[in-house]
Amino acid sequence: MRLLSVLATFSSLLSLSVAQKPHKYHTLVELSNSGKGPKGQILLNDNNYNDLTSAPRNYTAVVLFTAMDQRFGCTLCRDFQPEFDLLGSSWNKQHPKQDGIFFAVLDFSVGKQTFQRLQMSTAPIMMLFPPTTVGSAAEHAPIRYDFNPNDVNAAEAVAHWVSSRTKQTVTIHRPFNYVKFVTMIVGVIGTATMSKLAYPYLAPALYSRNLWAALSLVAVLLFTSGHMFNHIRKVPYTVPGRNGGVSYIAGGFSNQFGLETQIIAVVYAVLAFSSIALCLKMPRMESAGSQKIAVMAWNLVLLVMFSFLMSVFKMKNGGYPFFLPPLIA
Ligand SMILES: *[C@@H]1O[C@H](CO)[C@@H](O)[C@H](O)[C@H]1NC(C)=O
């Protein structure tokens, strides 16, 4: 009897002490508003990580595992941190009592043991711990966030992700970026002024047919000679050939070397310029004698270059039966 009554007193004392200890939910609300770290964010360490994430949870916890120390060189961690701060403060502004969602950060410098226990070897990692008071056990498992390093407004993306997994809507209140706005206005005015001032000098060039023709010709030569192929396939410039020489023409049609395309580009350019000279320059020559010589000279250039082009083609494709004098290779 005595023992039983002692036990009863003991258990009532125990339940009293449990009742007096504030529910962890209220501790977490206080931590979110504590002013340590950004508003609406709990700074975790190895000790209080379990308080936040252990069951039972009648709230959602969004935890960012990060490594802000310069030593770790985690660029994404540092890029993402302000976005996460904004996420927490936006929620806290509208929900000072947190209303069932907590945002927390565990930095590697104060959470090594937790990182090890969870076998996390990369950062940042973000997990959402759903409430354990509703739904099935499978629904209580933490959910991992997929970072997209190209997200400019990452806070909005995460807010959308959190909203889709809770019954609440997280809205981001991004402060207006005055510096960016002013920079943009100054930039626009500056560009407009510069263009207006420079226009009288640039206009002749902009309207010059020869300039555009030259630019187009360079582009055409660059791309018809296979510059893009080299760029994409990263082909070698030349390769060591037989007898210690270098081979600069690749055999077969599905291969080419860097030097080969440059040779082809030069051949094409010479062919193009001799055609242009024959069409545009020759008819305007005054003296019939020198005109005759010039026409012959340009035709000779055309013939030799085309002959060379065909011999290169024969090198790539041995079975090709045709050739053009003077180069019969
Ligand atoms: C969680 O439980 C505590 C204690 O019962 C309560 O005060 C708090 O309002 C609950 N939170 C939510 C989001 O239901």
**Ligand 1 pocket mutation, candidates 23, 32, 132, 133, criterion most atoms within 8 A of CB:** 23
- Residue 59 covered by a domain: yes
Last residue of a domain, one of 143, 165, 187: 165
Is 138 found in the same domain as 264?
no
Mean pLDDT of successive 10-residue stretches along the chain, which has 329 residues? 52 50 86 86 92 90 94 90 93 91 94 93 92 87 88 89 91 88 95 93 89 92 90 86 81 86 94 93 92 95 94 87 81
Is 9 found in the same domain as 154?
yes
100 Cβ closer than 6 Å to some ligand 1 atom: yes
- Residue 248 covered by a domain: yes
Is 215 found in the same domain as 153?
no
Is 149 found in the same domain as 241?
no
Is 225 found in the same domain as 129?
no
- Residue 192 covered by a domain: no
Specify the CATH number for the domain of residue 18.
Answer: 3.40.30.10
DSSP string, 259-307: HHHHHHHHHHHHHHHHHHIIIIIGGG-S-HHHHHHHHHHHHHHHHHHHH
- Residue 225 covered by a domain: yes
What HEC string does 98-110 produce? Answer: CCCEEEEEEEHHH
Cα–Cα nearest to 52, from 102, 110, 118: 102
Last residue of a domain, one of 141, 165, 189: 165
Is 220 found in the same domain as 121?
no
CB-side neighbour CA atoms (13 Å) of 63? 25
Q: What pLDDT does residue 16 have?
A: 45
Note every long-range contact of 274-283, with CB atoms under 8 Å and residues 24 or more positions apart, other chains counting.
Answer: 274/298, 274/299, 274/301, 274/302, 274/305, 275/302, 278/302
Cα–Cα nearest to 237, from 228, 245, 223, 247: 247
Q: What pLDDT does residue 17 have?
A: 47
Q: What six digits make up the tokens of 129?
A: 């711990």
Q: What pLDDT does residue 5 have?
A: 57
CA of 299 to the centre of ligand 1 (A): 93
Q: Is the peptide bond before 96 cis (omega within 30 degrees of 0)?
A: no
**Total tally of structural domains belonging to the chain:** 2
Q: What pLDDT does residue 107 have?
A: 95
Asked whether the whole model's pTM tops 0.85, one would answer no
Strand partners, 299: none
Cα–Cα nearest to 101, from 75, 62, 138: 62
Ligand 1 nearest-atom number relative to CA 98? 13
- Would you tell me the crossing angle of helices 209-224 and 258-276 to the nearest 10 degrees? 140
- Residue 29 covered by a domain: yes
Is 216 found in the same domain as 156?
no
Q: What pLDDT does residue 195 have?
A: 92
Domain of residue 311, residue span: 208-316
* Angstrom distance (rounded) from CA 210 to CA 57: 75
